Amino acid sequence: MENDPRRRRSRGGRRRGGGGPERRPTRVPAEPKPPQAARGLARRDRPRRRGAVQRSPDDLRPGTPCVIVMDCREGEPDRTGAGASFEGFFDLETGDPRRAGYGVPRLLIEPPSQSVRSSPAVPASNEPHSKERVWGFECWWRPDPARAGLTDTDRIEVEQSKKLLRGLIRDSRRSTRPALAR
């Protein structure tokens, strides 16, 4: 028994017996790849970078013109419809600049122009015309690159949002009442 070689189990190799149909591959062989060019592009074939980097239209940059769609702060003056410029994203506690997604947006509200007055008989208002900084959560705002100001669509969307919020608040009050009070 010591001289008998042990038989090994086959793992998908040729089977004994040899009879039977010939097996064919089940997948179609891949087509040969076209020859690849040399690594790297020749200097003349590289895309040239001229001027500013291509950015998406949704990318907010410091200085982007915005419009205040609705001022949510209490008190005067109401800055709804005022023009503003986007200052960037900042840390709420320290005021340090942050990257988009890691900070709170801050807007710089531009003072109304002094040159536009309805008539010379109407005096200019006594409120100071200093630039005012507003956090992005204190108002509803949107980018306004064309400096078109508030549009009719903005007004309609604000009214629809107010109705939706009132309904949500009303429904939340109903669901928190005790069952006995009904």
The DSSP code sequence of 32-62 is: PPPPPPPSS--GGGSPP--SSPP--TT---T
Distance from C-alpha of 139 to C-alpha of 160, rounded to nearest angstrom? 16
Please state, in angstroms and rounded to a whole number, the distance separating the CA atoms of residues 61 and 85. 10
Residue 113, pLDDT score = 64
Residues 104/89, Cβ–Cβ less than 8 Å? yes
Which residues on adjacent β-strands are paired with residue 88?
106
Sequence length of the chain is 182
Assigned token pair, 72: 């949510």
* CA distances to 12, 14, 17, 27, 83 from 21, in Å: 16, 13, 12, 18, 81
Q: Residue 163's CB: how many other CB atoms inside 10 A? A: 10
- pLDDT beyond 80 at 8: no
Alpha-carbon torsion, ordered 57, 63, 66, 71, to 10 deg: 140
| Mean pLDDT (the chain, rounded) | 76
What is the share, in percent, of the chain residues with pLDDT greater than 90?
A: 25
pTM over 0.85: no
Lookup result for tokens 């291509």:
54
Position 49 pLDDT exceeds 90:
no
Work out the average pLDDT over 18-40: 68
For 69, phi then psi, to 5°, come to -75, -40
Q: What is the pLDDT of residue 27?
A: 77
- For residues 7 and 90, the model is more confident at 90
